[in-house]
Amino acid sequence: MKFVKWLGIGLGGIVALLGLIIAIITFGFDPNAYKDDITRYVKDNQQRTLTIPGKLHLSFYPKLGIQVGALSLSEFNSDAVFASVAGATVSVELLPLLSKQVVVDRVQVDGLSASIVRGKDGRFNFDDFVTPVTTPEAPAADAPQASAPAFRLDIDRVKIANASLRYQDRISGTQLAVSQWNLQTGRIADKTPTTLKLSATIDGVQPKAAMRVKFAGGMTMDLDARTVAFAGLAASAQGDLQHGATMLSDLDLAFEAENLQLEPDAMRVAARAVVLLAKGASAGNRFDVKAQLGSLELDGATRRVAADRVVMTASGTRQDDPFVLSLDAPRLSLSPEAASGETITGAVKLAGRQKLDARFALAGVSGNARSFAISSITLDYDAASADSTAVGNVSMALAGNLDTQVFELTQIDGKVKVDNPDIPARTVTLPIHGGVRADLGKGMVRADLRTRFDDSAIEARLAMPTLAPPSFDFDVTIDTLDVDRYRSTATTGASTGASAPAAIGSEPTIDLGALKSLRATGRLRIGALKLSNVRLSQLDVALDAAGGKLQLDPVKASLYGGSMQASAGVDANRNAYRLKSMLSGVQVGPLLKDAADQDILEGKGNVVVDVTTQGTVVSALKRGLDGRVGIRLSDGAIKGINIAERIRKAKSLLGANTGAQAADKSEKTDFSELSLSATVAKGVATSNDLTMASPLLRAKGAGQVDIGANTLDYTIRPKLVATAKGQQGKTYEQLSGIEMPVRIYGALDAPQYKPDYAAAAMSAAKSDIGGRLLEKAGGGKAGGLLGSLLGKEKSEPTTEDAGTSEPVDPKKKARELLKGLFN
């Protein structure tokens, strides 16, 4: 009984003492008297200014708490404000303090405002709190150590209302402002489920952003295991956000999880029943994405990623054309030790102007986190655009190494069938075989592909030596290729008749913009090529493109019994072109017939072309041609006229109409040698040195070809030589030395010929034939006229003749006298 008595007396004394202490503090303690001490402490220890303009209020029962009004804290060693609050209240449980435990009961902050800055040196403006400027001196070794009260987290609720935060990164340029930040929780205690609700508005200058975010769900903390678990989690964000150079507008993002567990120390995240939603627009295109995961595990310590029942769908519009994407992955696991998974399937559908229906599957996933392999990837597709369709399939295998960043597509095997009404063959089927290797560590991609293009077997080595900026290298070999077979008949049909110059503004502009950024080198070899009806063999072309300039050098080929050595260049910076070509031993007749459908010249020989031009339309390129051209042929003919035969038939022709005559394809002027050179200036080729020789005649010529106007005006001056034998040999011998100019003029594709018979008569009159004419003319006016014409003396005219005063045309009279020569 005494024990109970003394225990009752002791407890009563303790209660009385506590009551006395609380009474003394309540009625005798004024916290505002310590405001200067508090601000001085902050100034001395943190080099910051703490301003407390309002009063401090203490409460002792049933909670021990403090309430402040406005309060602000400056930047380090500055008067600029770092953070401020409009009001705050903190309270702790009173009774746990008796057992040296701190249990926070309530935390409420109103009107919090803070400015976070990361300087150019990488330090934040709150680093001095993490690393204090001054460190308290260590107590003496023999000084007693005061034990700090134990802290047990148990907060009845936390409430932050209308807070704002400004963030500036002076290294990256990021500037964000968080406003209307509201946070409200239930009880926060160890292993105790609670609720969490947060909302805020985020505005950004860099990146541009205007987002409203919300977060709500249940939360449980395990302080011993250092984990946080969320249940029924729902987060959302709406607004506009800039990602790189892309502006995402009308965003509606959502994240939901039935369960989400975070283990920061183990770097592990685990979630179940996850749903991701994303809606919005970008550059006029809209998207709506939904992803569902049965479970997801990310383990940073073991570098393991595992996901089950992944289903994703995406829909929207691309350039006003709708699209739908889908992906289904039943199970996928990746770790440093192994990678595995079940078959992944998906589909892509596009509608509108361009249509696509594609299905793909990935099976046989194996490997580990460093390297992996997918033994089978298949793709089937059906595409359509305008009147063209493409149907095909391809299969391949994929292997990759994440450490070396090397990835390979092997065993590529597929085909595509293209149907296009503009292609003369209409349908083309292409098999595809080969492999692709990408070394992202070195920034290189290489592909070795084989295909058969109808009758064409093609082997190609394609590479990108650098990805940024992109550059290309290629080596393509084709055994035979008929390009005309796959071109529209509208582009391959030959023109007929003269071509009128295009009206200004009616021609399409040649756009060389793509060349300005192109960096490429390569080689193209074709065993037999037909292009624009021209046939070449053993074509070998080397290409080099950089700085807006494209060079084809050398260009080698065999064609029409001869060979070609050429080089060509294009300068996209100036819209300039250059061609230098040497044709050796070429049969020009078949070449002209195939290239231009012209049958006006035949022979074998050499052609040299060295020209430049500049312009943005074809007509300007023709008018801008400058350079030189040379031709030397042997054993050929000029078709459309037989000059020797025209001279031989001068007897009947002298009395006939001597106007222009169209070319007669049945006639030709043979030659054993023909050569000419021409200078080209502003689209006009001028030649003054044509020479031609044959058993019957010798000829020289001069004139011009206007390439821009597609016309020519050229005069050939042939002379017969007395070397012909046979039935007509005597006649040719009699006409030896006569020159009969022939003018060739008009459209290049429909030239006209005009022999000058009057000039032939004058030539005949001045030759040895003139003597025979003089004898045949005898005396009289005709003989005197002819003698004057020939420059020879003849008997004086008779009185009758002398009395005639009518003027006489010498050419006309000579022509009349020539008739007598053949009678």
What crossing angle do the helices spanning 810-821 and 780-790 adopt, rounded to 10°? 110
SS3 content of the chain, % helix, strand, coil (to 5): 15, 55, 25
Q: State the CB neighbour count (10 A cutoff) for residue 644.
A: 22
Q: What are the backbone angles phi and psi of residue 213, rounded to the nearest 5°?
A: -115, 150
Q: What is the DSSP letter of 486?
A: G
Q: What is the DSSP letter of 442?
A: T
Q: What pLDDT score does 43 carry?
A: 87
Q: What pLDDT score does 131 carry?
A: 62
Radius of gyration of the chain (CA): 50
Q: What pLDDT score does 775 carry?
A: 55
Are 578 and 612 in contact by the 8 Å Cβ rule? The answer is yes
Q: What pLDDT score does 28 carry?
A: 53
Q: What pLDDT score does 99 carry?
A: 67
367, two tokens: 């490997």
Output the CA–CA distances (angstroms, integers) from residue 533 to 37, 225, 491, 651, 746, in the order listed.
Answer: 100, 81, 12, 44, 25
User: Judging by beta carbons within 10 Å of its beta carbon (0-12, 13-18, 19+), is residue 497 exposed, middle or buried?
Assistant: exposed
Q: What pLDDT score does 489 carry?
A: 53
Q: What pLDDT score does 10 carry?
A: 43
Q: What pLDDT score does 154 carry?
A: 76
Pairing of strands 157-169, 113-118: parallel
What is the mean pLDDT of each successive set of 10 residues along the chain, which is 823 residues long? 42 41 51 80 86 81 78 88 87 71 77 89 82 52 52 77 90 90 89 93 88 94 90 94 84 94 90 94 90 92 88 90 93 83 92 90 85 92 89 94 91 91 79 93 91 88 90 95 73 46 69 92 95 94 95 95 95 95 93 83 92 94 95 86 68 48 69 92 95 85 93 88 49 64 86 79 63 53 51 46 50 51 43
Plot region of 710 (φ>0 → left; ψ -120 to 50 → alpha; else → beta): left
> Is residue 503 helix, strand or coil?
coil
Q: Bridge partners of 233? A: 257
User: Judging by beta carbons within 10 Å of its beta carbon (0-12, 13-18, 19+), is residue 313 exposed, middle or buried?
Assistant: middle
Question: Alpha-carbon distance 493 to 249, whole Å?
Answer: 51
Output the CA–CA distances (angstroms, integers) from residue 258 to 131, 295, 307, 717, in the order listed.
Answer: 40, 10, 15, 101
Look at residues 708, 671, 692, 655 and name the one whose alpha carbon lies nearest to residue 820.
655
Per DSSP, helices labelled H in 91-185 are: 95-98, 127-130
Question: Alpha-carbon distance 111 to 164, whole Å?
Answer: 7
Question: Alpha-carbon distance 740 to 744, whole Å?
Answer: 13
Q: What are the backbone angles phi and psi of residue 765, rounded to the nearest 5°?
A: -65, -30
Stated as kind and residue range, the H or E segment containing 473 is strand 472-482
